[in-house]
A and B are shown apart, each in its own frame.
Chain A
């Protein structure tokens, strides 16, 4: 045998490493641009080593107008939407996971169907509807819509996590006279802490990155979240200071990257299917 299996494997490994690194090089270029430009006093559109390191770009965008108000708006919108989503999903998942009913299956199928609907397509009618009921350009209207659009997937995830909590623990609480709500809040939710964390982070990340929903439903500049304001500040201007754009992009993206790192291990590939919900 001229080549043993193991020597063939190690040459395969080298080839695989090389192939992956080539792809990664292509993927890393735009990312390298944003990091290097943010630190570069004379940034342009190309990836290049900075002419000297500076934090001036960050300094320049760290103003109430450009950074703080939009990020605070994002936090309000996404925080409010996430709270509502997680609370409703936890409540809804409980009967779906705990009680057998003929309605469970059709309900879950509908929910699953709704997870993959293109939300983009319904934004025009949502806008028209919001104008009619005076919810247009309000934070609460946008929060409600955010929550509703994330809810199908949140219910789905939450129900699956809840199925993993053994029922016996609750039965003990029931015999001690606890109500369903008590056992949900005191026993089930604490036991599925990681699951709740995943649903929370997932909903938040999806809303944080969403551009189209606030773009359509909010009109007043003071209310705009970072996803839309970045476009107003940098997209519509004649001359763009690229270093500042890069610095702002980093400030705006960091929270979701950190949150992703926080929960990525918990769910592994399942987190990927989450992307299914939104475009």
Chain B
């Protein structure tokens, strides 16, 4: 756990003994020292920074896939088109719904609940439940998509269960596609929050909760006044990370609904894909991608700030 959350940026323990060595080593060394960084830096510049810069460029052009001699600079036209495009606004709205339901409410709350219950549960149950939830998370995205597709189909397991309970059934992927893919994302992603919160809860000293228990504080009050405040940084980090993950979900939705029916589960990544490839509007699709990237970067910066205060 420590390895991943503790940035140790300012004071990495490694170079502690460096100052004397530095004075004995001559000045030419720094160049040799950065040499091992070059393969990584070249790879990152060419294949990560390059596309990002290119993204920022073609978002302002009318580049298309085929049949166009030259793309030309169109300024903010793609963006003004986007904000007047009902399909785009629909995708923004669905992305918000998807993120709030599946990440902020679903994964986060369920993950915390599972982690909290696991603190008290007996060991065999804990191992079993942890194993099941984590398996759902480790499965490849496309496989998860097929499993949940089968689960939510009209002939699928969910309706079978509802039938058995004498509850009304429906064709989930048609009537409530965005809800179905949101639940699919909860199924697939909850393990992450569960692991983050399990680690956070393990770090709360036993004496504190025990003292509160002896003083007669009930479960909910302990949770509200002690547990949550003590893990609030983990909550912040977790919310940022699962939001970022959820914003870039593509395969799961693609396999389950293709964004349909009628765009009713088309979140921004799927909208971007459709505009760029099925409608050949690369420039427009990239403008949408750039917006997604900017939102992602903002969350990323907040995440960095949270990490820094955690040290």
Residues of A contacting B: mostly: helix
Interface residue? B1 (CB, 8 A): yes
User: Which residues of the other chain, A, contact B128 by a CB distance below 8 angstroms?
Assistant: 24
Could you tell me if A128 and B58 are in contact, using CB atoms closer than 8 angstroms? yes
Interface residue? B47 (CB, 8 A): yes
Could you tell me if B307 and A16 are in contact, using CB atoms closer than 8 angstroms? no
Could you tell me if B117 and A270 are in contact, using CB atoms closer than 8 angstroms? no
Q: In the bound complex, how far is the Cα of B40 from the Cα of A91, in angstroms? A: 8
Could you tell me if B143 and A230 are in contact, using CB atoms closer than 8 angstroms? yes
Nearest A residue to B120 via CB reads A16
Interface residue? A117 (CB, 8 A): yes
Given contacts A20-B129, A29-B157, A151-B43, contact A109 B9 (CB under 8 A): yes
* Residue from B121, B122, B156 in contact with A45 in the complex, judged by beta carbons closer than 8 Å: B156
B78 to chain A, nearest CB (A): 12
Which residues of A does B touch, CB under 8 Å? 5, 9, 12-13, 15-17, 19-21, 23-24, 27-31, 33-34, 37, 44-47, 84, 87-89, 91-92, 94-101, 103-105, 107-109, 112-114, 116-129, 144-145, 147-149, 151-152, 155-157, 159-163, 167, 171, 180-181, 184, 205, 208-212, 215, 226-228, 230-231, 234-235, 242, 245, 249, 252-253, 256-257, 260, 264, 267-276, 278-279
Which residues of B does A touch, CB under 8 Å? 1-10, 12-19, 21-22, 30, 32-34, 36-37, 39-41, 43-44, 46-48, 50-52, 54-55, 58, 63, 110, 113-114, 117-122, 125-126, 128-129, 132-143, 146-148, 150-151, 153, 155-157, 160-161, 187, 189, 191-192, 195-196, 198-199, 213-214, 219, 240-241, 244-251, 254-255, 269, 272-273, 276, 282, 285-286, 289-290, 292-293, 296-297, 299-301, 303-304, 307
Apart from A95-B36, A122-B289, A125-B54: 15 A-B pairs, beta carbons within 8 A:
A21-B129, A24-B128, A45-B156, A100-B18, A120-B292, A123-B289, A124-B273, A155-B40, A160-B2, A163-B12, A245-B146, A270-B3, A273-B1, A273-B196, A279-B249
Q: Which 4 A-B pairs have the closest CB atoms?
A: A272-B195, A211-B251, A279-B248, A148-B47
16 contacting pairs across A/B (C-beta < 8 A): A16-B118, A23-B110, A23-B113, A27-B133, A151-B43, A152-B44, A159-B12, A163-B14, A235-B255, A249-B146, A249-B147, A252-B140, A275-B137, A275-B189, A275-B241, A279-B245
